[in-house]
């Protein structure tokens, strides 16, 4: 690992921890993504994490808050755009939507059920994003 990669790993670790401490499993390789999606039988929340400000100030806080909902996915996974590039690209192949980070998706049986792109995160309040997520949970979980 070169100095830049080491620096970025150190910088992004708290951003990763915010989700893993909330119960998310990180998928860091295309093989992990493929294995997860091939075994995905119940609704799962997939978060495409990002280093940007709207991920830090809006997406991750909203995601964590949404997990308080009594009706939510039991499976929680994340890929990190710009860091785990191959894993992120592999996950996006299942979405069939424009790449967007941060973003959130609900998948079931390896199929995209619902997608919240960056445009529905950026310039929105945390509460609005929580509402988007909890409505999706009620519909798909």
- Which residues form the catalytic set? 52, 54
Count the Cβ atoms, other than its own, within 10 Å of residue 110: 14
**CA–CA distance from 29 to each of 44, 52, 54, 84, 85 (Å)?**
18, 21, 24, 7, 8
Q: Is 136 helix (H, G, I), strand (E, B) or coil?
A: helix
User: Is the distance from CB of 117 to CB of 110 less than 8 angstroms?
Assistant: no
Distance CA 135, CA 140 (A): 9
User: Is the distance from CB of 101 to CB of 81 less than 8 angstroms?
Assistant: yes
Count the Cβ atoms, other than its own, within 10 Å of residue 113: 16
């Amino acid at each position: 690992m070169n100095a830049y990669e080491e620096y970025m790993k150190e910088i992004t670790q708290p951003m990763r921890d915010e989700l893993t401490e909330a119960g998310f499993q990180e998928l860091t390789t295309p093989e992990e993504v493929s294995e997860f999606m091939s075994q995905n039988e119940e609704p799962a929340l997939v978060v495409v994490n990002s280093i940007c400000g709207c991920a830090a100030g809006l997406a991750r806080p909203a995601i964590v808050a949404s997990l308080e909902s009594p009706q939510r996915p039991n499976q929680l996974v994340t890929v990190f755009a710009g860091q785990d590039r191959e894993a992120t690209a592999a996950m996006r192949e299942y979405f069939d939507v424009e790449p967007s980070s941060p973003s959130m998706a609900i998948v079931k049986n390896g199929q995209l059920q619902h997608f919240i792109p960056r445009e529905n995160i950026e310039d929105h309040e945390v509460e609005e994003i929580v509402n988007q997520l909890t409505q999706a949970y009620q519909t798909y979980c």
